[in-house]
Amino acid sequence: MLAIPWMMVIGMVILVIIGTMALYSASDGVWTASVQQHLLRSAVGLLIALFIAFLPINLLFRTSFIFWLFIVCLLTIIPFIGVGAGATRWINLGFMNFQPSEPAKIAVILLLARYLSLRTFDQIDKLIIYVPAIFIIAIPTALVLRQPDLGTGLMIFVGGLGVIFVSGLPKRYVLLGLGTVAASIPLIWGQLYDYQKARLLTFLNPEKDVLGAGWQITQSKIALGSGGLFGKGYLQGSQSQLDYLPEKQTDFVFTLIGEEFGFVGSMTIILIYFIIILSITGIGFRAKNRFTRLVSSGLAMVIFLYVFVNIAMVTGVLPVVGAPLPLISYGGTAMLTTFLILGICLNLSLNSFKEDIEIS
């Protein structure tokens, strides 16, 4: 019997439907091109996921370095061929704008899992083993930060560290890493752009400039609070329908849902994501090979970071950064990246019984 994680698949389908409804509401109840594109991209993404699901798992293993190198090359040349207002993050493909930093999260996890799964448990205890792993994470992270894109860069970095941690990283190295990061905060602050510093300062005190830098988070909190327990009703959100809510199709789509469906609707969304993350994590627990365990842990971390950063951002727990809500927010590359994760997870689940990955 095929080991298909049905809870993950069903959860993702439900999120696509919710996303379609949310985008229809964000378009003031009109069937716009963005709603159509959301459904079209979902259909294409599902086909891609099914294709990846039935590939030989050793192909994922063997091509991980090529995939990582390809993404690094794209991130390297994007300042010269990319497009974007204020930040060069996309490559115009004609039919859509492709953002290489999104699949970079997957590329880092696959290559890290390959590298660390080939190490013995005796080697895992040695600090020198983690030097190549840090470079695997640091190179794409640095290229993304150069764009500049602080939010995505940090997600790549944290997702990679999650894989290293699951691989069996000794506690003393964890403490050493935390100490190094803490000591580097003044240096990191000095390297931030002025607008990034402004976002952090606005996060600490959004009421200081309610009509300026604090406008987005203030309107988001008003919308979420006005939703109450059960919400104002579908297509009845005053903040969103009167266009007080910024970026309601992308970064702040969770706020739109919270206003229209209230606390119950918001918690339902979070519960679905929790089930998906738990399902992906379960693939790693069932797996009999280290590569599958590490990849599933890393991909579960990616989904968690997507959800956590977006929801924490719109509720004022984190500074405002560009972070879409998977399968709900409008966006091409982020959605296709999520379906890539779905396909890889299906592949891992179907091959979880294998004790070893054929390298050759």
Give yes or no for a contact between 75 and 143, defined as CB atoms under 8 angstroms apart.
yes
- Give pLDDT tens digits for 286-296: 888 889 999 99
How many whole angstroms separate alpha carbon 275 and alpha carbon 12? 10
Asked whether the predicted pLDDT for residue 146 surpasses 90, the reply is no
Domain ranges in the chain are 6-350
CA 42 to chain centre: 16
Q: Which of 72-76, 137-141, 243-247 has the lowest mean pLDDT?
A: 243-247
User: What's the rounded mean pLDDT across residues 315-326?
Assistant: 81
If you search the block for the tokens 């970079």, which residue do you land on? 104
Give yes or no for a contact between 108 and 61, defined as CB atoms under 8 angstroms apart.
no
Half-sphere exposure of 177 (CA within 13 A, CB side): 16
- Terminal CA-to-CA distance of the chain, rounded, Å? 27
- Give pLDDT tens digits for 36-48: 889 999 999 999 9
Band (pLDDT 50/70/90 cuts) for residue 106 is very high
Query: In this prediction, what percent of the chain has a pLDDT beyond 70?
Result: 86
User: Are β-strands 97-98 and 91-92 bridged in parallel, bridged antiparallel, or unpaired?
Assistant: antiparallel
3-state SS class at 91: strand
Rounded alpha-carbon distances, angstroms, from residue 22 to 10, 54, 256, 332: 18, 32, 7, 16
- Give pLDDT tens digits for 152-164: 888 899 889 889 8
Asked whether the predicted pLDDT for residue 115 surpasses 90, the reply is yes
* Residue 154 burial (C-beta neighbours within 10 Å; 0-12, 13-18, 19+): middle
- Give pLDDT tens digits for 68-96: 999 999 999 998 887 776 667 888 887 77
If you search the block for the tokens 């519960």, which residue do you land on? 271
Written as one letter, the residue type at 28 is: D
Nearest to 106 by CA among 347, 359, 357: 347
How many whole angstroms separate alpha carbon 90 and alpha carbon 252? 21
* Position with higher pLDDT, 356 vs 183: 183
Please state, rounded to an integer, the average pLDDT across all residues of the chain.
84
* Position with higher pLDDT, 200 vs 209: 200
Nearest to 305 by CA among 108, 137, 159, 150: 159
Asked whether the predicted pLDDT for residue 11 surpasses 90, the reply is yes
Q: What per-residue string of b and e applies to 336-345 under the rule 16 or more CB within 10 Å gives b?
A: bbbbbbbbbb
How many whole angstroms separate alpha carbon 27 and alpha carbon 25? 5
Token readout for 233 is 């009703």
Check residue 114 and give its pLDDT: 93
Band (pLDDT 50/70/90 cuts) for residue 280 is very high
Check residue 205 and give its pLDDT: 62
Half-sphere exposure of 74 (CA within 13 A, CB side): 20
